[in-house]
């Protein structure tokens, strides 16, 4: 049970912070299917920065953990500008924009990773090796039965994600900016009538989604794959979108959905290992989160209430 909780949380929390980014974007009225691309490019920028700085300073790349997180957030936010410009300035179809950005992210990062490794490091590799992040255990709390697993073998990024999630909740529900953002997704003309620039609010929301998705991508790189590679693009962005939809675009229910996906993933892996099944069967158990996504979609989609102006192109001249 402890293993399931520990591994489940290490997957659920990055998924959760990425889903929060999606909530910010979609609460403002911008459909965001590009989370997958944001997390991939964010992880690429973070990993590349860590590798280059570590090489320049002659130190271990694992010492660049916090540096990589910062650059990953910057990279994800920078890449999200493309989606914001296409959807807000040029009024492109938001679904198509998200799909195209995801495809672009996969192709661009794969090409750049291979070329940089060859030209800068002289290695024929399609990945940046980072190593697994160090973990820590909180003495005392870790000894509590069952619950103690939450405080055992904790990645540093898990603490960062919890703090950022609390701040995001406060920003969205307890500040004037959050009120304007939520109103922009429900009644943008009323926001405009109050003298607020709806386009700026939406632009900011998309940038926040890119920043948080970039952080999530870097966390996946340090925990699941121990490097930046195509493994970052494993459908996690779409799982985050599914989680926020099941959470009805609210942060706390979305957290519950992410926990469900996280424990399904770690539980499947645990079952396969406990039964000593071949690796091919282990891969089969990895589909459990996606099966849950389909089941939840069947049973709960009718009760979902998306922001009323979600996906609608805002035209100031229309009433």
Confidence band for 48, pLDDT divided at 50, 70 and 90: very high
Look at residue 230 in the predicted model and tell me its pLDDT: 80
Contact 77, 207 (CB under 8 A): yes
- Alpha-carbon Rg for the chain, nearest whole angstrom, is 20
DSSP letter assigned to residue 154: B
Confidence band for 297, pLDDT divided at 50, 70 and 90: confident
Answer yes or no: pTM beyond 0.85.
yes
Please state, in angstroms and rounded to a whole number, the distance separating the CA atoms of residues 110 and 232.
11
Please state, in angstroms and rounded to a whole number, the distance separating the CA atoms of residues 21 and 244.
10
- H or E stretch covering 128: strand 128-129
Confidence band for 280, pLDDT divided at 50, 70 and 90: low
Instruction: Give the pair of three-digit tokens for residue 100.
Output: 């195209």
Residue ranges of the domains in the chain? 13-131+154-168+175-245
Please state, in angstroms and rounded to a whole number, the distance separating the CA atoms of residues 33 and 69.
22
pLDDT digits (tens, 9 = 90+) for 125-182: 889 989 878 899 998 888 888 888 899 999 999 999 999 999 999 999 999 999 999 9
What is the three-class DSSP state of 44?
Answer: helix
pLDDT digits (tens, 9 = 90+) for 171-211: 999 999 999 999 999 999 999 999 999 999 999 999 999 99
Contact 79, 105 (CB under 8 A): yes
Please state, in angstroms and rounded to a whole number, the distance separating the CA atoms of residues 316 and 199.
10
Confidence band for 281, pLDDT divided at 50, 70 and 90: low
Look at residue 296 in the predicted model and tell me its pLDDT: 77
- The residues, any chain, with a CB within 8 Å of residue 246's CB and separated by 6 or more, are 253, 254, 257, 296, 300, 304
Q: Is the pLDDT of residue 44 over 90?
A: yes
Please give the average per-residue pLDDT across 232-237, as a whole number.
88
Residue 106: CA count within 13 A, CB half-sphere: 15
* Dihedral angle sign, alpha carbons of residues 63, 65, 66, 68: positive
Confidence band for 103, pLDDT divided at 50, 70 and 90: very high
Look at residue 290 in the predicted model and tell me its pLDDT: 80
pLDDT digits (tens, 9 = 90+) for 9-31: 999 999 999 999 999 999 999 99
């Amino acid at each position: 049970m402890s293993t399931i909780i520990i591994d489940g949380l290490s997957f659920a929390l990055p998924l959760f912070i990425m889903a929060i980014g999606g909530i910010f974007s979609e609460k403002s009225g911008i459909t965001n299917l590009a989370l997958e691309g944001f997390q991939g490019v964010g992880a690429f920028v973070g990993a590349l920065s860590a590798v280059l700085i570590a090489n320049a300073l002659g130190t271990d790349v694992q010492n660049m953990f916090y540096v990589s997180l910062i650059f990953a957030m910057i990279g994800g936010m920078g890449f999200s500008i493309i989606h914001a410009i296409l959807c807000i300035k040029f009024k492109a179809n938001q679904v198509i924009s998200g799909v195209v950005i995801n495809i672009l992210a996969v192709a661009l990062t794969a090409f750049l990773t291979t070329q940089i490794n060859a030209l800068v490091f002289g290695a024929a590799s399609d990945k940046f090796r980072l190593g697994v992040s160090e973990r820590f255990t909180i003495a005392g709390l870790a000894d509590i039965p069952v619950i103690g697993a939450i405080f055992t073998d904790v990645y540093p990024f898990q603490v960062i994600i919890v703090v950022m999630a609390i701040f995001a909740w406060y920003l969205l529900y307890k500040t004037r900016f959050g009120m304007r953002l939520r109103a922009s997704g429900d009644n943008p003309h009323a926001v405009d009538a109050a003298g607020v620039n709806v386009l700026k609010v939406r632009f900011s929301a998309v940038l926040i989604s890119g920043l948080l998705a970039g952080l999530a991508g870097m966390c996946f790189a340090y925990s699941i794959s121990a490097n930046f590679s195509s493994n970052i693009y494993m459908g996690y962005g779409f799982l985050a979108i599914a989680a926020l939809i099941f959470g009805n675009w609210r942060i706390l229910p979305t957290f519950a959905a992410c926990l469900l996906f996280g424990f399904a993933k770690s539980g499947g892996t645990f079952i396969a290992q406990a039964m000593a099944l071949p690796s091919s069967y282990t891969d089969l158990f990895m589909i459990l989160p996606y099966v849950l996504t389909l089941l939840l979609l069947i049973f709960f989609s009718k009760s979902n209430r998306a922001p009323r102006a979600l996906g609608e192109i805002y035209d100031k001249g229309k009433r």
